Structures are given as C-alpha cells and as structure tokens.
Amino acid sequence: MSNSALVNYTRISPNKNSPRNHAIDTISIHCVVGQLSVETIGNVFAPSSAGCSANYGIGADGRIGMYVEEKDRSWCTSSGANDNRAITIECASDTTSPYAVNDKVYKALINLLVDICQRNGIKSLKWQANKALIGQVDKQNMTVHRWFANKACPGDYLYNLHGQIAAEVNKRLGVSSGAAAPAAKPQQTSKTTAEKTIWNFLSGKGLNDFAVAGIMGNLFAESALNPRNLQNSYEKKLNMTDDKYTAAVDNGTYNNFVRDSAGYGLAQWTYWSRKQGLLDHARKQGASIGDLNMQLSFLWKELSGYTAVMNTLKTAASVLAASNAILTGFEKPADQSAAVQKKRAEYGQKYYDKYVKKAAAAPAAFTPYLVKVTATDLRIRKGPGTNTSIVRYCPPGAYTIIAESDGPGASKWGQLKSKEGWIALDYAKKI
C-alpha cells in the first residue's frame, strides 16, 4: 500500500491503528473548521491526547499534508468500521456554516482523490447522499462524518458538492459519467450546484430521464424561480417568517424571494400536499432547512408513498407527462396558476435539454491513458469481447488505451492506440 506522491508535508500522528483491518474502498471528506495550514493541522493531530487524526489534510494554500499513512487506520470519522476502510481527508474550511473551502483546496482535493483512486484500484467514486448505503461500496463509496456522529462535518458546502466531486474525479479517471452533471467550478451560491444536487439525487432513484426532468421542473417552478441562493439567509434579511413566505408563494408574489429556493420548493411542495410537511419535519428534526439533501431524502420518502404517481414516473414518456403526474397525483392543492404551470413545463424541458440531451449529444471526451501488461498470455482481439477473433498475442509492455468498452469475457475492454484491436483491461495495470 503506497502513499500519495502529492504530499508536501508529513507529520505522522500517534492517533491511529496500524495496520488498518480492511482494504481501502471508501473516501471520507471532512472540513477541519479553520483556514489552517498543513503544519497547523499536523499540530492538532500530534498529541495523543487529541485522540483524532486523518490520513491527509489539505491546507488553505492547497498544499497536502499526510498524518496517517494509507496502510494505517486514522481516527477521523467517529467510526472504526468506516475509518478502517476509508481514506480520510481533512480540508481547510471556514469556521462557520456552510464551512466553505477555497478553490485551491478544492482543486487539491480533486487531484488527491484521483491519485487515491488510481493507486487503490477504486474505479470510480459513487455518491448518492444516502446514509442507508454505508458499506455498500458498489453503490456508494463516499461517506460523511455527519452520518456517524452528531456533527455538521463535512459542512453543507462540501456535502452539497459531493456529487460534483465524484463527477470531476470520475472524468479524470476516464469513467463515462452518463447523464451526470457536467463538471463546473464550484460556487457557494451557484444555481447549478442546487440543480446538480437534485439531478444527481433523482438520477440514482431508478426513474427515467423524463421523470427526473419533470420533477426538477416542478421543484423549480414551485420554488422562488430564482434558485440561486442555497445558503443565504434571505428570509431573515427580509424579516419573513415561514408562514409569510408560504403566503407569498400562494398569492403569486414569491418571485421576490430567492432564499434557499430549491429546498424551499420542496418544502412548499410537501407542505401544501400534506398540510404537515417538510418544514415542520425539518423543525422537529432540528435540521437546517438549508440542507438540501435531507430535504430531498424526505421528499423522496413522501413521493414514494404515492404508488400511482411513482408508477407513472417510472414509465413517463415525456417531461410533460411526468410533470403532470406529479401535479395531479401528488402536489394537488399547490399553486396551480397558469403561470406556474407554464414555468413547470419550461423548467422541466430545460433540465431535460441540459442534462439528458446535451449529455447524449456530446459524450465526454476520452482521455487516453497508459497501461502496463505483465501477463505473457494476453490476447489482442479484433473487438471488445472474447466473442471476437484473436489478432495476436499481446507481448508484455506498455500500451496506450484510446477507448474503453464493455464486452463479454472481461469487466472492461481497452482499445490499443495501434488500432490493432482490444485487450481485457483486467490484465493491464494503469500506469
């Protein structure tokens, strides 16, 4: 087991178990609550009295520190089971919610994650914002501290970026991200962050693309129509109570309010459909109504109870059909003015065009990579599969792979740059 060559500073903490008792198959990203340097993070983990550590830390200047070698288990996530299988990474962050990290930290985090995945045979990062999937690494191999302890960590900023982080890392790993959102520079109050979070959440639920777009159209039409402030407390600034806000949504003046709008859309949605809705639930849980993923999970639970709506969503033949199923079967008494109905269809179509059509029209460019073949009996085949003819034996050596494909006989096939044929990538190691 190796450590990252990207490390700029090493100070090994005594707070660890050596060696870890499980193979590395999980990533846990944390916020360190302070714009700290790698040296300061090292100071924090140095005394055994601290009782905590992390495999890596990223300082505010983007340098990377190592505090527990990858072969060892860090004390980071309040869960021995998690820390034994996870690489834990602390990121320099703001000291207050949403514990934002700067661009340098974000970039270093992506680089470090790509390196960790490549060295440890993690083929892609998977994120579904679903605590119930802890340990099911084939479905989700990223975990967060807040699932194991009563903590905000990694903070809403990084939490909401997990889908995007996975997409960016996977793109660098050469994994096609399908209908996943295109990578973009993270912005704390970005409209697209909210959209992507919702899109990624819904895409993992077994709905077809029309249904996902239809739901998104409903959410955004029903919310402030200006979904760009996921974190800002506009409500407070405007001296609005939840009830006043709800009334404003109902009487059509809600365009004025832009706070936390994607989440608020969900709140309105369930509030009006069930009378006792998401806001009340959030209050009872003591949870921040800004926590979009919590709201999404709750919404999903609600929506899943409407069998007829769900059946329609699973087979929806158009954005409009999905949108109408929600409108008539689930949302019922919500704002159904002509203006909102029009917006709903427009927004749904917009998301469909943006995330589905665009993704289908322009598949992510494949980045060629080098592999090393050590096996002496590997065959080059005419196509990606053992059902195609053998071209010749592939002598040990280094080869450039210019395309990947699924096919019988191997978990993945790679096309050789010589265009001579394809080899089973299970017998080639990325170098």
Cβ-based nearer residue to Zn ion, 145 or 379: 145
Cβ-based nearer residue to Zn ion, 153 or 183: 153
Residue 99 CB, nearest approach to Zn ion (Å):
10
Residue 152 CB, nearest approach to Zn ion (Å):
9
287, 139, 25, 162 alpha-carbon torsion, rounded to 10°: -40
- Rounded Cα distance between 117 and 4, Å, is 10
30 binds Zn ion (CB under 5 A): yes
Q: Half-sphere exposure (CA, 13 Å, Cβ side) for 303?
A: 29
Of residues 357-416, which lie at the interface with Zn ion (CB under 5 A)?
A: none
Residue 39 CB, nearest approach to Zn ion (Å):
20
Identify any residues that bridge with 229 across adjacent strands, giving them in sequence order: 259
Size of the site for Zn ion (CB under 5 A): 3
Region of 27-35, 40-48, 128-136, 273-281 interacting with Zn ion (CB under 5 A)? 27-35
Residue 89 CB, nearest approach to Zn ion (Å):
10
16 binds Zn ion (CB under 5 A): no
Of residues 312-351, which lie at the interface with Zn ion (CB under 5 A)?
A: none
Of residues 276-315, which lie at the interface with Zn ion (CB under 5 A)?
A: none
Region of 60-68, 153-161, 271-279, 305-313 interacting with Zn ion (CB under 5 A)? 153-161
Q: Which two tokens stand for residue 334?
A: 């919500």
Identify any residues that bridge with 34 across adjacent strands, giving them in sequence order: 93
Region of 25-33, 43-51, 125-133, 310-318 interacting with Zn ion (CB under 5 A)? 25-33
Residue 174, sorted as left (phi over 0), alpha (psi -120 to 50) or beta, turns out to be: left
153 binds Zn ion (CB under 5 A): yes
Q: Tokens 């917006």 map to which residue?
A: 343
SS3 sequence, 168-228? HHHHHCCCCCCCCCCCCCCCCCCHHHHHHHHHHHHHCCCCCHHHHHHHHHHHHHHCCCCCC
- Rounded Cα distance between 247 and 331, Å, is 17
- Rounded Cα distance between 372 and 380, Å, is 14
Cβ-based nearer residue to Zn ion, 56 or 413: 56
Cβ-based nearer residue to Zn ion, 145 or 171: 145
Paired sense of beta strands 86-91 and 56-58, if any: parallel
Residue 68 CB, nearest approach to Zn ion (Å):
14
Residue 6 CB, nearest approach to Zn ion (Å):
21
Residue 420 CB, nearest approach to Zn ion (Å):
49
Residue 24 CB, nearest approach to Zn ion (Å):
18
Region of 30-38, 42-50, 111-119, 351-359 interacting with Zn ion (CB under 5 A)? 30-38
Of residues 117-146, which lie at the interface with Zn ion (CB under 5 A)?
A: 145
Cβ-based nearer residue to Zn ion, 145 or 259: 145
SS3 at position 86:
strand
428 binds Zn ion (CB under 5 A): no
Cβ-based nearer residue to Zn ion, 72 or 335: 72
186, 192, 195, 197 alpha-carbon torsion, rounded to 10°: 0
Q: Which two tokens stand for residue 111?
A: 């680089």
Cβ-based nearer residue to Zn ion, 153 or 424: 153
The helix (H) or strand (E) run that includes residue 17 is strand 16-17
The answer to whether the peptide bond before residue 154 is cis (omega within 30 degrees of 0) is yes
Nearest 5 degrees, angle CA 327-CA 331-CA 335? Answer: 85
Residue 155 CB, nearest approach to Zn ion (Å):
9
Cβ-based nearer residue to Zn ion, 83 or 331: 83
Cβ-based nearer residue to Zn ion, 151 or 172: 151
Residue 66 CB, nearest approach to Zn ion (Å):
17
Closest CA to 359 of 198, 193, 180, 212: 180
Asked if residues 68 and 55 have their Cβ atoms less than 8 Å apart, the reply is yes
Cβ-based nearer residue to Zn ion, 158 or 230: 158
Cβ-based nearer residue to Zn ion, 153 or 320: 153
Residue 32 CB, nearest approach to Zn ion (Å):
8
Show the binding pattern over residues 221-250: x = contacts Zn ion (CB under 5 A), - = does not: ------------------------------
Nearest 5 degrees, angle CA 43-CA 45-CA 49? Answer: 105
**Interacting residue ranges for Zn ion, rule: CB under 5 A:** 30, 145, 153
